Amino acid sequence: MPASQPRSRARDRNNVLNRAEFLSLNQPLKGNQESRSSSRKQSSQAGAAGAQNTNPKERRQSQQLPEEDCMQLNPSFKGIAFNSLLAIDICMSKRLGVCANRASSWGGARSMINLLGITGHGIPWIAGTLICLVKSSTLAGQEVLMNLLLALLLDIMIVAGLQKLAKRKGPYDVNPGLLDYLTMDTYAFPAGHASRVAMLSKFFLNHLVLAIPLRILLVLWALCVGFSRVMIGRHHITDVLSGFVFGYLQFRLVELIWMSSNTCQMLISIW
């Protein structure tokens, strides 16, 4: 034992790590340990005080954040179905936009398709109704024409309001024409031409005596005008279909507020 002690002391003296400059690497100072422990305690106390000072609403929001993240990462079935249908609508509308510009597959027929769309525009129909109203001499004809004028004005106001609310753009970057700006038909949803031709066709079928071939041609005209708006790239398919639905609802609204012959005569006399 006495011989082993001098040997161990000699080893300690020869060990480089036992020198003064390396003591901090082997054995940290007590002051550092105490400062670190005190800083940890202070941070823990500050965190506890901050947790106590926070409002219950903030605690609830912090607890709800992981759930909201999970909802964003895992959307519902309705959200997936809606986004899928929207993607299909955009894809099909772009494929059917064969006259969207001159470089399209049917670009040469663009002027003819635009001419077909003008037949369903509101300005020519309002002008034609006013001319017929001035030249009409029968009470029944004036009654029908006054209610038709009311239906056209309601169609322009309702479609313009819905388009301002939705603010949906078409599948292609196509600038609206001058007549579109006059009727405030600058957005895609719902299609103003589609709602107008649906309302007009239903109005004529109910209030005019037409032969069966003319009734079929009237329905085909409404369908062609509606889907011509998809071909020139101004509307999606769902915009046109929703326009047909809104046009029918507008017809039902006009039937509910139908003006009688006496009311029409009073309005004509004022005008």
Q: What is the pLDDT of residue 7?
A: 59
- pLDDT value of residue 145: 93
Peptide linkage before 190 cis (omega within 30 of 0) = yes
Q: Round to whole Å and give the CA distance between 228 and 225.
A: 5
Start-to-end C-alpha separation, the chain = 131
Residues 6+ apart with CB under 8 A from 120: 193, 194, 196, 197, 200, 222, 225, 226
Task: Check whether 194 has a pLDDT greater than 50.
Answer: yes
DSSP readout, 118-152? Answer: HTT-HHHHHHHHHHHHHH--SHHHHHHHHHHHHHH
Here the tokens at position 211 are 């032969």
Q: What is the per-residue pLDDT for 237?
A: 93
- What does pTM read for this prediction? 0.69
Q: Is the pLDDT of residue 154 over 90?
A: yes
Mean pLDDT check: name the lowest of 17-31, 143-157, 236-250.
17-31
For residue 27, pLDDT over 70 is answered with no
Asked about 193 being catalytic, the answer comes back as yes
Q: Quick check: 194 and 234 in contact, CB under 8 A?
A: no
pLDDT at 174 over 60: yes
CA distances, 102 to each of 111, 112, 133, 226 (Å): 10, 13, 40, 21
Residue 137 or residue 63, greater confidence: 137
What is the average pLDDT value for the chain, to the nearest integer?
79
Cα 83 to the center of its chain, rounded Å:
11
Is 235 a known active-site residue? yes
pLDDT per residue over 37-69, tens digit each? 555 555 555 554 444 554 554 555 545 544 444
Which entry of 121, 193, 207, 236 is annotated as an active-site residue? 193
Residue 86 clears pLDDT 50, i.e. is over it:
yes
**Which has more pLDDT, 106 or 59?**
106
Which range has the worst mean pLDDT, 62-76, 107-121, 203-217?
62-76
